[in-house]
Amino acid sequence: MEIIPAIDIIGGKCVRLSQGDYTQKIVYNENPLEVAKQFEAAGLLRLHLVDLDGAKASHIVNHQTLQAISSQTKLKIDFGGGIKSDKDIRIAFDCGAQQITAGSIAVKSRDTVLHWLDEYGAEKIILGADVKEEMIAVSGWQENSSINLFGFLKDYVTHGIQYVICTDISKDGMLQGSSVALYKKILRQFPALKLIASGGVSDKNELDVLKKAGLHGAIIGKAIYEGKISLVELSKFD
């Protein structure tokens, strides 16, 4: 299982939110590049980089941070937040993203994401499924939709999606454990999916549980910044 540390950006700074609430913001570091270099020095290979300003503005905002991290580390970066157009996705890839996460756009403009799958290939596009009580949420979790998670996944799997990041909003940033039961339910229905857990990972034991459940990867944010999981522990995870 891949260990994927997360950096969320607001105003060029490394922050974390609780349950997607922009008013519950904690700034952990003024310099995201410094944080990324710490991850790389610990032997981690991946980075989940989220442009929270972009998610709110509906276009990429913090692409310079992406470019700085991609040019000064060897981390494999998946980038999300504000990717809403062909221009946005080109900016993301030109600035060094290895993959992009299509979240709200996958709900609001399905044809655009299917076009990206055709143009860039399934290895480059991650479907972002942000959920609350098995319903999809969009726009940096500022809006709820009437779309059921499982119908949403079935549609995109049929069209070739391989990678999915599933975030249970109720768990995100709360350090109360991840949605293992939900992930198991998803994998029973879509066993070939490369499913990446996001939200609620609180300690190393949680990672063992997710690995045993068959997750392809796990994104870890607040647990790192709050010292619940050390980078040494993550670097030794097998």
Nearest Cα residue to 76 out of 130, 123, 127, 17 = 123
Q: 186 — phi, psi (to 5°)?
A: -65, -45
> Which two tokens mark 44?
């981690």
Q: 153 — phi, psi (to 5°)?
A: -65, -45
Question: What is the 8-class DSSP label of residue 214?
Answer: T
| Distance between CA atoms of residues 172 and 178, nearest Å | 8
Task: Identify the burial level of 64 via C-beta atoms within 10 angstroms of its C-beta, where 0-12 means exposed, 13-18 middle and 19 or more buried.
Answer: exposed
**Which active-site residues does the annotation give?**
8, 130
Q: 85 — phi, psi (to 5°)?
A: -145, 170
> Which two tokens mark 85?
């157009």
> Which two tokens mark 45?
């290979």
